[in-house]
């Protein structure tokens, strides 16, 4: 599990702009097909000058094929299309 979160942060970090940070990571429903793919919903925001108040919040989906983590990527699906895993 820690390896998946680490890879998720690594992939999501490629989408960060200037002064943006990751606010929250939530597990989404996995998909089962040829490969088991874990999905994470990553909330990103720009921090104000004080580094406290987040603005311009957005969400991205990071998909991690468990059998091939090197092919992990930012998914084009919206966060609303991925159910949260309880």
In sequence order, the β-bridge partners of residue 78 are none
Of 48, 54, 39, the C-alpha closest to 7 is 39
CATH of 2-79, one of 3.40.50, 3.40.1350, 3.30.420, 3.10.450: 3.10.450
pLDDT by residue for the chain (86 residues), tens only, comes to 689 999 999 999 999 998 899 999 999 999 998 889 999 999 999 988 787 789 899 999 999 999 999 999 999 999 999 999 87
> Cα(39)–Cα(77) distance, rounded to whole angstroms?
11
Is residue 1 helix, strand or coil?
coil
Can you give the pLDDT at residue 1?
A: 66
> Cα(66)–Cα(86) distance, rounded to whole angstroms?
19
Is residue 81 helix, strand or coil?
helix
pTM above 0.85, yes or no: yes
Asked whether the beta carbons of 27 and 84 are under 8 A apart, the reply is yes
Can you give the pLDDT at residue 49?
A: 78
Can you give the pLDDT at residue 48?
A: 82
């Amino acid at each position: 599990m820690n390896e998946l979160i680490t890879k998720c942060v690594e992939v999501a970090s490629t989408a960060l702009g200037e002064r943006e940070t990751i606010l929250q990571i939530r597990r989404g429903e996995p998909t089962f097909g040829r490969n088991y793919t874990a999905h994470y919903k990553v909330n990103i925001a720009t921090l104000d000058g004080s580094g406290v108040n987040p603005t311009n919040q957005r969400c991205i989906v990071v998909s991690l094929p468990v059998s091939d983590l090197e092919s992990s990527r930012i998914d084009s699906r919206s966060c609303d299309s991925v159910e949260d895993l309880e």
